[in-house]
Amino acid sequence: MTDDDIYEALQSARRIALVGASANPARPSHRVMHFLLNAGYDVVPVNPGLAGQNLLGQEVVARLSDIKGHVDMIDIFRAPEHVPQVVTEALAKFPDLSTIWMQLGVVHEEAAREARERGVTVIMDRCPAIEYPRLMS
């Protein structure tokens, strides 16, 4: 993934589903969601244990299939063994999805290949809260 690819993914995304959102401010997913909201993105938090609650002013949904409307990017804060299920659900729910982003430490080549075959940009083992200030300022 080149810097140009990452820049384009960040530039073109407007609505992001954050899978593995946490209500705990000490968790990276909470901090990244806060960062993305402050950067102007519309963020839909996804966490079955928090479904129906508000997180940073956004209603939490249990799963991707519960999201109404379009999503440009899926940001995955789940262990690698859970990535294939997330990717399969994302591709089924959002046929025009542009980006799947796997957070730091999250890599799953087979799921990435499946998404790329559908024309989706895949970014692995990176964080938008690190890449955004580096590339967008």
Question: Are the CB atoms for 87 and 113 separated by under 8 Å?
Answer: no
Ordered by start, the domain boundaries in the chain are 3-136
Candidate CATH numbers 1.20.1740.10, 3.90.440.10, 3.40.50.1860, 3.40.50.720; the one for domain 3-136: 3.40.50.720
Q: Of 90, 74, 77, whose CA–CA distance to 24 is shortest?
A: 77
Task: Provide the 8-state DSSP code for 25.
Answer: T
What is the token pair recorded at 54? 């508000």
Q: Quick one: pLDDT at residue 41? A: 98
What is the token pair recorded at 40? 């102007």
Residue 61: half-sphere exposure toward Cβ, Cα within 13 Å: 13
pTM: 0.96
Task: Please count the other Cβ atoms lying within 10 Å of the Cβ belonging to residue 89.
Answer: 16
> pLDDT 10s digit of each residue in the chain, 137 long?
899 999 999 999 999 999 999 999 999 999 999 999 999 999 999 999 999 999 999 999 999 999 999 999 999 999 999 999 999 999 999 999 999 999 999 999 999 999 999 999 999 999 999 999 999 97
What is the token pair recorded at 127? 């964080």
Q: Quick one: pLDDT at residue 1? A: 85
Question: Are the CB atoms for 36 and 16 separated by under 8 Å?
Answer: yes
Residue 63, C-beta contacts closer than 8 angstroms, at least 6 positions apart: 46, 48, 89
Provide φ and ψ at 39, rounded to 5°.
-80, -5
